[in-house]
Amino acid sequence: DVKVTQSSRYLVKRTGEKVFLECVQDMDHENMFWYRQDPGLGLRLIYFSYDVKMKEKGDIPEGYSVSREKKERFSLILESASTNQTSMYLCASSFVKGTYEQYFGPGTRLTVT
């Protein structure tokens, strides 16, 4: 079974802090994704990576950056956390040229106070 893990289930940070969210997948997937989920808005893509050191902006990249130094790991970075970044963050992965099915981690609920 594909496993996608995220470093924390719950995280509380203060405004202005630098925040790292980590995601690891064990199926050798080329693609990895970071989404944020907010009530009534569904999932919105923040960043997408299709290979090591390759990234592409999603629909809402402002205030975020990403890092992918190894194929299995994709990090989301909030350079200076703000209260409007309080949300559920979901990581996913998939094969390139596969069936487009994405496999999701359990999510990190981030609260910025």
Footprint of other proteins (CB under 8 A): 4, 9, 31, 33, 35, 40-45, 48, 50, 58, 90, 92, 94, 96, 99-107
Most distant CA atoms of the chain, gap in Å: 41
CB nearer to other proteins: pick between 81 and 91: 91
For 15, 32, 41, 53, 67, the CA distances from 23, given in Å and listed in that order, are 23, 9, 23, 15, 11
| Smallest separation (angstroms) from other proteins to the CB of 85 | 19
| Smallest separation (angstroms) from other proteins to the CB of 82 | 23
